[in-house]
Chains A and B, each alone.
Chain A
Amino acid sequence: MASAAAKKSRPKYLSLSALLFEIRLPVTGWVSILHRVSGALLFFAAFWLLWMLDRSLSGPEGFEQIKRYVALWPVKLALLVIAWAFCHHFCAGLRFLLLDLEKGVDKTSARRSGWAVLAASLALTAGFGWKLW
């Protein structure tokens, strides 16, 4: 038996277009998911960085080899991405530690600190990039 309520068109919030274009994460949600993304990225980056440490300590030739390697622009670009991942993970991590201590839990300050984390990590990454180039 079809009731009037069942015929009423309802918004379908979980359609793909809704997920892509309608549902927006608040800034705090972005900080959170980027914390995960950057953490996963750093997990993979660790192997590469460890390889560079290994080579650079293996002898004078290895050290020079890594120096030349790091001067290549694709390597620099990858390092810049890793630097962003580190800066974001660091800043967002400090914010989460403060939230754990119940500092800045209310909506206004949580959003403000969320923006601050995004801005600070980009600024620090820019600083690293400036040093690198």
Chain B
Amino acid sequence: MTRRIVTGAHYGLRDWLAQRITALVLAVGSVVVIGALLWSGPITYPVWKELFSHGAMRVATLLVAVALAWHAWVGVRDILMDYIKPDGLRLALHVAVLLAIAGWLGWTVEILWG
């Protein structure tokens, strides 16, 4: 039996799990959206506008956007960790990706409630 004392910040497992939970949220969300688009007839502006005027639709969209932001962050961070070796460059790219993701979250809020 090995007695291994786990040390460190433990964010590895948390991120691994978050990646999978957000994946499920995104999978369900996208199936619902695609299903709804296939189900509905041709979409006109009033229909489109009315769809996004419901509070529930706005909150659901924001929920999916947050799940996407988290999922994308863990995924892109993993890619950068694997391929970008110089520390300074990797840090700079991490910051750029975080800012970009924060940017599209803010933009989503503005689109939904602006």
Contact = CB atoms under 8 A, between A and B. Distances in A.
Interface of A: 36, 39-40, 42-43, 46-47, 50, 53-54, 56-57, 60, 63-64, 86, 90, 93-94, 97, 100
Interface of B: 20, 23-24, 27, 30, 45, 48-49, 52, 68, 72, 75-76, 79, 97, 100, 104, 107-108, 111
B81 to A, nearest CB: 12
Contacts of A60: 45
A59 to B, nearest CB: 8
B30 A39 contact: no
Given A40-B76, A63-B45, A57 B111 contact: yes
A128 B49 CA distance: 24
Contacts of A100: 20
A40 B79 contact: yes
Contact of B72 (A46, A63, A97): A46
A43 B108 contact: no
- B interface: dominant SS: helix
B48 A57 contact: yes
- A interface: dominant SS: helix
Given A42-B72, A97-B20, 20 more contacts: A36-B79, A39-B75, A39-B79, A43-B75, A43-B76, A46-B68, A46-B72, A47-B104, A50-B111, A53-B111, A56-B48, A57-B52, A57-B111, A60-B45, A63-B45, A63-B48, A90-B30, A93-B23, A94-B27, A97-B24
A7 B63 CA distance: 64
A97 B45 CA distance: 38
A97 B23 CA distance: 9
Contacts of A57: 48-49, 52, 111
A46 B104 contact: yes
